[in-house]
Amino acid sequence: MTVRTRIAPSPTGDPHVGTAYIALFNQCFARAQGGQFVLRIEDTDQQRSTPESEKAILDSLRWLGLDWQEGPDVGGAHGPYRQSERGDLYKKHCDELVEKGHAFHCYRTAEELEQLREQLREAGRTALKPSDLALPDAEVEKRKAAGEPYVVRMNVPESGTCVVEDLLRGAIEIDWGQVDAQILLKSDGMPTYHLANVVDDHLMEITHVLRGEEWINSAPKHKLLYEYFGWEMPVLCHLPLLRNPDKTKLSKRKNPTSILYYQRAGFMPEAVLNYLGRMGWSMPDEREKFSLEEMLEHFDIHRVSLGGPVFDVEKLSWLNGLWIRELEDEQLADRLQAWLLNRDNLLKVLPHAKGRMETFGDFAPLVSFLAAGQLPLTGDSFSDNKLETDEQKKLLQFALWRLEALRTWERDDIFQAMKALATAMDIKLKDFNAPLFVAISGTTASFSVMDAMVLLGPDLSRARLRHAIEVLGGAGKKVLKRWEKEYAAL
Ligand code: GLU
């Protein structure tokens, strides 16, 4: 049997380090056994999926040094590799389940579902079962004849225990009582993750599914679907989730999570991949620095430990230092040039720096903030600004939300977005810009903060705003909720 693994990233945002971590382990697992690693794109969320995000994910994984034998960019015998191009396959398989009586058309309206959930809560139950959802035959016929929208849901047992085997955890028991009559096909005809995932893994001949532990609770549904189809189920292996240093689930609020951030902030791809290889895994001799080839050579999935691995930027920086020191000077010079210190970038920066230079010597201090990753800010960095600390914090969060929603990263778009926000918040542009200045450049005595953001790029700019918010004390859940409302009302 040829071992075949896969990842199925959703192209709905920045390329996440968690995606690269899962990809690395899938690649190592397959390749260490002479098998194949497949990349498919889970773009069934038509609203949020973008081609830009897909490209950024593929580019980032390649930048790290990962590669796959089949995928949307390299082709292969099991394509297409984008779920949005596989609609007919899902429909056909879903129809088959309905015919066999394993799935049913559900005409329940949103209001009815809300009521049903309310009744469940009152009864102390959690999952909506087929029996809860059932409508009298005549009512179904009526809604069908009226052309009302429906979804396709799978039948699930009312009670009992489902046992799923996990390569690392052994037998996991999950109570059927917690499992919903899962939607398989949405009213727009698009499959949900569960249906697409099972159909694709089967048709793509995947033998081992290595994915994040957040999917454990979905495993009973998948197991049941394999049974309904009469297919052999791949081996499941749930990898531990990456965590922030405070042990909470890795989040961009506390840690940059976009691979593009690490690229722009001057990390070596070899070091980032090495660090991801240390997430829950270690070399037999416990050495900290190793290459992808070395990891492959010694790879054994049973060396994964399940305690939540902590993704700590300080540790990663330390490891990156080891990698830098092992480069020849010639190599390091090439790397630095390829990264940022090249003529093209000089030409982009000079128009902004020139007016502030008396000697060439003024240049490096003026632009050093463009090369740093995170700036050494403290609460004091913001104390000369006119607005109160809390106001500044809120403004930075609102600015961050605006900037996260931008589709392009052009100076005019950034400027218009910030100006509109300042007006909506009724803050003079000068006072509005001050905290942005500090967050982005470390000081208010720098060139235009809009230009600085363009030069930094979206990932570094947003990461700096997030860092500034944290430095100012961060915002708890309650405060965020309040701000979200205020922001929405602007
Ligand atoms: N789109 C899902 C994710 O990236 C895929 C999960 C899976 O591997 O099955 O988390």
Per-residue pLDDT reduced to its tens digit, 238-263: 999 999 999 999 998 888 999 999 99
Decide whether any atom of ligand 1 lies within 6 Å of the 10 Cβ. yes
Helix (H) or strand (E) holding 464: helix 449-471
The label of the residue with tokens 């809860």 reads 132
Question: How far is it, in rounded angstroms, from Cα 309 to Cα 21?
Answer: 11
What is the model's pTM? 0.94
Structure tokens belonging to residue 342: 């090249």
Give pLDDT, residue 263: 97
| Ligand 1 centroid to residue 17 C-alpha, Å | 14
Q: List the beta bridge partners of residue 243.
A: 249, 310
Q: List the beta bridge partners of residue 70.
A: 38
- Given pLDDT bands bounded at 50, 70 and 90, which one contains residue 117? very high
What confidence tens digit (pLDDT) does each residue in 327-350 have? 999 999 999 999 999 999 999 999
- Given pLDDT bands bounded at 50, 70 and 90, which one contains residue 320? very high
| Ligand 1 centroid to residue 22 C-alpha, Å | 9
Tell me which residue of 2, 13, 19 sits closest to 54, measured CA to CA: 13
Residue 286 has pLDDT above 80, yes or no: yes
Rounded to 10 degrees, the C-alpha dihedral 119/120/124/127 comes to 180
Give pLDDT, residue 443: 81
The mean pLDDT value for 272-291 works out to: 97
Tell me which residue of 442, 481, 440, 445 sits closest to 463, measured CA to CA: 440
Structure tokens belonging to residue 124: 């102390």
The mean pLDDT value for 444-460 works out to: 90
What values do phi and psi take at 386, rounded to 5? Answer: -70, -40
For ligand 1, atom 5, which residue shows the shortest CA distance?
A: 8
The mean pLDDT value for 313-337 works out to: 98
Best mutation site among 25, 211, 218, 238 for ligand 1 pocket (most ligand atoms within 8 Å of CB)? 211
Q: Which residues participate in catalysis according to the annotation?
A: 252
What confidence tens digit (pLDDT) does each residue in 363-392 have? 999 999 999 888 999 999 999 999 999 999
| Ligand 1 centroid to residue 359 C-alpha, Å | 54
Question: How far is it, in rounded angstroms, from Cα 136 to Cα 284?
Answer: 62
What confidence tens digit (pLDDT) does each residue in 185-219 have? 999 999 999 999 999 999 999 999 999 999 999 99
> What letter would DSSP give residue 358?
S
Q: List the beta bridge partners of residue 172.
A: 164
The answer to whether 238 touches 169, Cβ cutoff 8 Å, is yes
The number of the ligand 1 atom at minimal distance from the alpha carbon of 210 is: 8
The answer to whether 82 touches 72, Cβ cutoff 8 Å, is yes
* Residue 148 CB neighbours (<10 A): 13
Decide whether any atom of ligand 1 lies within 6 Å of the 9 Cβ. yes
Question: How far is it, in rounded angstroms, from Cα 487 to Cα 469?
Answer: 16
Alpha-carbon Rg for the chain, nearest whole angstrom, is: 26
Give pLDDT, residue 373: 87
CA distances from 222 to 133, 198, 218, 219 (A): 21, 6, 7, 5
| Ligand 1 centroid to residue 12 C-alpha, Å | 12
What confidence tens digit (pLDDT) does each residue in 53-64 have? 999 999 999 999
| Ligand 1 centroid to residue 211 C-alpha, Å | 7
Question: How far is it, in rounded angstroms, from Cα 259 to Cα 17?
Answer: 6
For ligand 1, atom 4, which residue shows the shortest CA distance?
A: 9
The mean pLDDT value for 387-405 works out to: 95
- Given pLDDT bands bounded at 50, 70 and 90, which one contains residue 445? confident
Percent of the chain having pLDDT more than 70?
A: 100
For ligand 1, atom 10, which residue shows the shortest CA distance?
A: 9
Decide whether any atom of ligand 1 lies within 6 Å of the 42 Cβ. yes
The mean pLDDT value for 102-120 works out to: 96
The number of the ligand 1 atom at minimal distance from the alpha carbon of 214 is: 10
| Ligand 1 centroid to residue 338 C-alpha, Å | 33
Residue 302 has pLDDT above 80, yes or no: yes
Give pLDDT, residue 441: 94
Decide whether any atom of ligand 1 lies within 6 Å of the 8 Cβ. yes
Give pLDDT, residue 369: 94
Query: Coil, strand or helix: which one is 177?
Result: helix
The mean pLDDT value for 105-125 works out to: 95
Percent of the chain having pLDDT more than 90?
A: 94
Give pLDDT, residue 446: 77
Give pLDDT, residue 253: 85
Question: How far is it, in rounded angstroms, from Cα 155 to Cα 373?
Answer: 51
CA distances from 61 to 15, 23, 66, 77 (A): 8, 8, 6, 22
Residue 310 has pLDDT above 80, yes or no: yes
Give pLDDT, residue 447: 82
The number of the ligand 1 atom at minimal distance from the alpha carbon of 10 is: 1
Round the average pLDDT of the chain to a whole number and report it: 96
> What letter would DSSP give residue 69?
S
Between 297 and 445, the more confident residue is: 297
Helix (H) or strand (E) holding 166: strand 161-166
Residue 26 has pLDDT above 90, yes or no: yes
CA end-to-end distance (rounded Å), the chain: 59
Best mutation site among 6, 53, 57, 193 for ligand 1 pocket (most ligand atoms within 8 Å of CB)? 193
Query: Coil, strand or helix: which one is 170?
Result: strand
